[in-house]
Amino acid sequence: MAEELPGTNEGIVISGNARVSNAAMAAGRGASAVHHSDGAAALETVLAALADLRERLDTGRADAADLTEEERRAARAEADVLAEELAADEPRPGRITACLERLRLYVGDAASLVGLVTGIQEGVRAITGG
């Protein structure tokens, strides 16, 4: 094994049970990374997906038919809270995360709704950087 000199840059090293969610990373002398995101467009996309989810839950469409009435109401309420939180001047990340977790729980195994919620989660990550 080669001897490492003090200050030697080994780049970006990620190990263990880690998840990296970055659009830009840089390592080394003179390296730079820039990420530009259109948060407003991402927010509009997430809010539109939430509106679609709420409409499906309200109408009891076939993709929501596997849910009980209680699950549909609970999921609808979480979707409402999530939309309000995302539209707030200072959204609270902890509340957003909790809403997403409960929303996922409420839609259970309704495959198309799970897919929609997964898309919402990915959109929220893009907005919040988490």
Domain with 84, as residue range(s), is 39-128
Mean pLDDT within 63-76: 86
Domain count, the chain: 1
Q: CB–CB of 93/85 below 8 Å?
A: no
Residue 19 lies in a domain: no
Residue 86 domain-assigned (yes or no)? yes
Q: Tell me the pTM.
A: 0.67
Residue 63 in domain: yes
Is residue 60 assigned to a domain? yes
Q: Which residue has the higher pLDDT, 62 or 54?
A: 54
Calpha distance 101→78 (Å, rounded): 10
With respect to residue 25, please indicate whether it lies within any of the assigned structural domains: no
8 Å CB contact between 57 and 75: yes
104 assigned to some structural domain: yes
Residues recorded for the chain: 130
Average pLDDT along the chain: 79
HEC profile for 9-42?
CCCCCCCCCCCCCCCCCCCCCCCCCCCCCCHHHH
- Any idea what DSSP says for residue 62? G
55 or 126, greater pLDDT: 55
Amino acid symbol at 4: E
Q: Which of 92, 89, 100, 95 is nearest to 123 (CA)?
A: 100
Asked whether the predicted pLDDT for residue 68 surpasses 70, the reply is yes
Residue 49: exposed, middle, or buried by beta-carbon count in 10 A (0-12, 13-18, 19+)? buried
Structural element, H or E, at residue 119? helix 111-128
